[in-house]
Amino acid sequence: MVGTLCALGAAGLLLGYFLSSAWKWFATVAGTYFLLGAAGMLFYSKVGKLALRERLLDKIRWEGNETVLDVGCGRGLLTVGAAHRLSTGKVVGVDVWQPGAITGNRADAVLENARLEGVADRVEVRQGDARDLPFEGETFDVVVSNYVVHELKTRNERTQMMHEIARVLKPGGRVALVDFIFTGECAAELQSSGVKTERLRDGFLSFWIAAVLNFGAVKTYHVVGQKIERSNADRATP
């Protein structure tokens, strides 16, 4: 993708050099836009994604003994980051891990990254779908997720994911997820499932730079919340 954007950018600038009148400016602006896009993607892959991870994880008040679930963990970016926040707790990364995925997402990649980061003793992986998590209710103190929501094709699927997150959270447990679309509906669905939720911009500069470069199509928000504790009367109800 970065290579394609670089090629388009270079072609645009080259055309702008040779063309005249309005087409010259159009080609130059288009070429510059594609090159900025390539630079942004490269920056995110090397630096930006780690900074985003830490901003998201900072939304959680960590004790160090939490049981954490990373929904759609991929290669373990959040899984490993959360494990660094723990002392006696553990993180479970769950994903479908499609065979032969060009992203290289694999369960063993998560474990290898955890080993390289020195947190392998705090990391586990499970095969599972975000819409039907393979865990009992009220299992986790913290649930996190990174750019998974937009991959679900329908609102019903996104609703299922939010309901599952709420189901596996312990009362008082916390959730933190990030995405660039559908975050408003995610916050509403979590709220309706008993999780007191708020939607926050991902920083200031990072939010607006991404929004401007993508003509408003990309607006990165964090959805963070805490599952409402049950009253004593609720606990006594079978």
Question: Over 50: is that where the pLDDT of 39 sits?
Answer: no
Are 159 and 178 contained in the same domain? yes
Are 84 and 15 contained in the same domain? no
Indicate which CATH number applies to the domain containing 115. 3.40.50.150
Tens-digit pLDDT profile for residues 54-84: 999 999 999 999 999 999 999 999 999 999 9
Are 130 and 169 contained in the same domain? yes
Q: How many CA atoms lie within 13 A of 153 on its CB side?
A: 0
The β-bridge relationship of strands 221-227 and 195-201 is antiparallel
How close are the terminal C-alpha atoms of the chain, in Å?
A: 54
Tens-digit pLDDT profile for residues 186-211: 999 999 999 999 999 886 455 445 55
Residue pair 168/137 in contact (Cβ under 8 Å)? The answer is: yes
Please report the beta strands in 155-194, taking only residues with DSSP state E, as ranges in sequence order: 169-179
What string of H, E and C letters represents the secondary structure of 4-64? HHHHHHHHHHHHHHHCCHHHHHHHHHHHHHHHHHHHHHHHHHHHHHHHHHHHHHCCCCCCC
Q: What is the pLDDT of residue 97?
A: 81
Are 115 and 191 contained in the same domain? yes
Are 190 and 126 contained in the same domain? yes
Q: How many CA atoms lie within 13 A of 108 on its CB side?
A: 1
The β-bridge relationship of strands 123-127 and 195-201 is unpaired
Are 95 and 167 contained in the same domain? yes
Q: Look at 13-17, 59-63, 69-73, 179-183 and tell me which has the smallest mean pLDDT.
A: 13-17
Taking Cα atoms as reference points, which of 92, 134, 98 lies closest to residue 114? Answer: 92
Are 185 and 231 contained in the same domain? yes
Domain hosting 167: range is 58-236
Are 173 and 213 contained in the same domain? yes
Are 43 and 63 contained in the same domain? no
Compare 107 and 43 and report the one with higher pLDDT: 107
Compare 131 and 47 and report the one with higher pLDDT: 131
Are 201 and 163 contained in the same domain? yes
Taking Cα atoms as reference points, which of 62, 176, 197 lies closest to residue 122? Answer: 62
Are 92 and 23 contained in the same domain? no
Q: What is the mean pLDDT of residues 81-108?
A: 86
Compare 217 and 4 and report the one with higher pLDDT: 4
Are 206 and 110 contained in the same domain? yes
Q: What total number of domains does the chain contain?
A: 2
User: Tokens for 129?
Assistant: 């779908």
C-alpha dihedral (44, 47, 52, 55), degrees to nearest 10: -160
Picking from 30, 49, 68, the residue at the C-terminal end of a domain is 49
Q: Which residues contact 200 (CB under 8 A, 6 or more apart)?
A: 59, 221, 222, 223, 224
